[in-house]
Chain A
Amino acid sequence: MSSAALSIDVPRAEARERGAPRWAWVILPLLVLVVIFFYPLFFIVKQSLAGDAGPLTLAHYATVLSSGVFKAALGRTVEIAALSTVGCLVLGFVLALIVAFVPFPGSRVIGGFIDTILAFPSFLIALSFTFLYGSAGAFNFLLMDLLHTTEPPIDFVYTKWGVILAEVTFYTPFVMRPLLAAFSQLDNALIEVASSLGARPLRIIRQIIFPEAVPALLAGGSLCLLLTLNEFGIVLFIGAKGVITLPMVIYGKAIQEFDYTAGCVVAVVNIALSIALYSLYRFVLARSGGGRAVFV
């Protein structure tokens, strides 16, 4: 007993003698976190409660949260995030099904391409949408030429649907990746046996594949909802008329109107929403066997 204890205690004692205690290793990362994360967060919360120099009060919250601009932005943000997430789930599920179960040449290339999209900054998608479908975009030029018209026939980019489509395009791979991981774990014999029992492809998708994909869909969907809720680049670059989301309000208040307090109030609300959604995401991941669906 004593020898075993010694074998553990001696190296620890030596370590204490040789250098800094173990807790010292925490200091540096903690400092970095404090400087780049907690201090700005503290500053934002303080600014939202105290304004520029006043006492701590919830008055700023009452003012901002009751304003029409905030309510409209909150509604629009949730609407766009929800619709984009639904779009990502539907498109991601269909595309992942095709990539995983329909043998075609180049499926591996497609898989690699999905990872590439994940590495892009989101505003690039918005930019490409403008080039392709904008009023002066390639498709409109082509169609105006074909239809002999002076008005661009495609006119959805600068609406909320343009934002939603761009977000669906950018965030769909975030659903596909965990789905493809889940599909790769699915025993092919399940599909074959179901088929031999008389099940057609749609029934197999509905009753065999979909139940197995639910954890991955929940994980990917939660992540999409979280990211689309905070999406700023796509909304800003598309510049859709009347599409004001919470990040846009924060930007407008803090940068354009120099109303830091209002900007911070909206930011705190946005952060609270994000943390709630992130908690949901982690909860779903933990409950649904995250190991099969995790990629973030």
Chain B
Amino acid sequence: MEASTSRAKARAGGDGGARDDTPRRLSGIRFENVTVAYGATVALDDFTLDVAPGQVMALLGPSGSGKTTALRAVAGFVEPTRGRIFIGDVDVTDKPPYRRGIGMVVQQYALFPHMRVEDNVAFGLRANRCPRAEIPARVEECLRLVGMASYARRYPLELSGGQQQRVAIARALAIRPQVLLLDEPLSALDAQLRSGMLKEIARLHRELPDVTILYVTHDQIEALTLADRIAVMNDSRLVDVGSAQSLYQQPPSRFTATFVGNANLLPVTVDRWDEREQQAWVRLGDRMLEVMSHMPARPGEARTLCIRPHALALDGQPGCNAIEATVSEVQWRGSAHRLYVDVGGVEMWADSRPLRSPPSRGQRIVLHFLPGDATLLAGASVGAGTTAAAG
């Protein structure tokens, strides 16, 4: 009996056919050693990740890092060569996409062009055999949720990009999915719309805390803004995973340091490490700096120091580290000044609040930072002064 009920629910697309008073079962996503290969080309390599129920997990990485492949594997559009995928406790690896009960929003909206907005939103409900009488109310509820109720009779071509994306989200949410997959949903929007939609998605998640969201993006701002946790990917593999804050403040690797936020990476030598305080003293040229290090550091070891550009200030506080530098370029960016400096042959940049009298090129300055704002990374710095692309 229970099996038949769950089958009925599965037919209805997760909770797609359930009434409002039906208790919702929370489902996370679990990848277990998932590999996706096309012949000799490996698109996703031994990927293991747990997304807790109700969590927003961002898959963040550059093009070709395997993040979209991971999302498509959850949706059922690519077949893993190896490994298993679970939604909740259910192994969905071999299930066809229409039996997985997920909602999906893609970059180019993919609204059905010949259907009105209301029919687009109702599509999943009809496909899941939702009672006919319930459909109009569910459609209106979802359109109201994304602020598109007054556009129900329009065709997709009569909507702007942002409006189309809202309808796409409403369509995905209409079936009340346990899992929502968002594949670079804001990439096709201009900067202003993107910022607005980012707020909208954050609000939606607050209103629908039960929905587990897998959010694929190459945009660190989107990931940092929305995600409870971020999985950083590169070269078809998972590089690091953690909360947005921990990955930003204590990046475990060079790649994560540069991809999640901007970073100055400096070559340093460990002088000593205090395990109890999780602090290290490192040498940059002839300067001794006090920094955070959650990983053991052996004296004499060559390591990489990560300092966020906004953590560097011209005026110091007691207990701050100080680095002498020569200004090589000054850029005014309206709300900030960006100073490019040379520190003993290593190029860095500092993002400061607007300066009344900014330093001039060639001027010697002292940059300060707190020990807690710098992290010691594993491994020596390859290519001194390597930094992320300036944002």
A189 in the interface (beta carbon within 8 A): yes
B114 touches A198 (CB 8 A): no
B98 in the interface (beta carbon within 8 A): yes
Select the stretch in B100-108, B206-214, B351-359 that faces chain A.
Answer: B100-108
Given A187-B108, A189-B108, decide whether A194 and B100 contact each other with a Cβ distance below 8 A: no
Give the number of residues in B that approach A within 8 Å (Cβ atoms): 31
Select which of B76, B96, B104, B128 is within 8 A of A193 by beta carbon. B104
CA of A199 to CA of B99, assembled, Å: 9
A195 in the interface (beta carbon within 8 A): yes
B350 in the interface (beta carbon within 8 A): no
B172 in the interface (beta carbon within 8 A): yes
State how many angstroms separate the Cβ of B264 from the closest Cβ of chain A: 40
Give the number of residues in A that approach B within 8 Å (Cβ atoms): 17
Q: Given the complex, which residues of A lie within 8 Å of B13, measured CB to CB?
A: 197-198
Given A189-B106, A203-B127, decide whether A195 and B97 contact each other with a Cβ distance below 8 A: yes
A196 touches B108 (CB 8 A): no
B75 in the interface (beta carbon within 8 A): yes
CA of A197 to CA of B102, assembled, Å: 7
Interface of A is mostly: helix
B112 touches A192 (CB 8 A): no
Q: Given the complex, which residues of A lie within 8 Å of B11, measured CB to CB?
A: 198
CB-CB nearest in chain A for B171:
A197
State how many angstroms separate the Cβ of B129 from the closest Cβ of chain A: 9
B332 in the interface (beta carbon within 8 A): no
State how many angstroms separate the Cβ of B286 from the closest Cβ of chain A: 57
Q: Given the complex, which residues of A lie within 8 Å of B128, measured CB to CB?
A: 197-198
State how many angstroms separate the Cβ of A33 from the closest Cβ of chain B: 41
B123 touches A197 (CB 8 A): yes
Select which of B77, B96, B172 is within 8 A of A197 by beta carbon. B172
Q: Mark B268-288, 1 if CB is under 8 A from A, else 0.
A: 000000000000000000000
Select which of A189, A190, A200, A207 is within 8 A of B98 by beta carbon. A200
State how many angstroms separate the Cβ of B110 from the closest Cβ of chain A: 4
B112 touches A208 (CB 8 A): yes
A192 touches B75 (CB 8 A): yes
CB-CB nearest in chain B for A211:
B114
Q: Given the complex, which residues of A lie within 8 Å of B36, measured CB to CB?
A: none
CB-CB nearest in chain B for A203:
B127
A194 touches B75 (CB 8 A): no
A79 in the interface (beta carbon within 8 A): no
Additional A-B contact list (14), CB under 8 Å, known A193-B110, A195-B76, A196-B76: A192-B104, A193-B106, A196-B75, A196-B98, A196-B100, A197-B13, A197-B175, A198-B16, A199-B123, A200-B98, A203-B127, A211-B114, A212-B113, A212-B114
30 A-B pairs within 8 Å (CB atoms) are namely: A187-B110, A189-B108, A190-B110, A192-B75, A192-B77, A192-B97, A192-B110, A193-B106, A194-B112, A196-B97, A196-B102, A197-B103, A197-B104, A197-B127, A197-B171, A197-B172, A197-B175, A198-B12, A198-B98, A198-B101, A198-B127, A198-B175, A199-B123, A199-B124, A199-B127, A200-B98, A203-B127, A208-B112, A211-B114, A212-B114
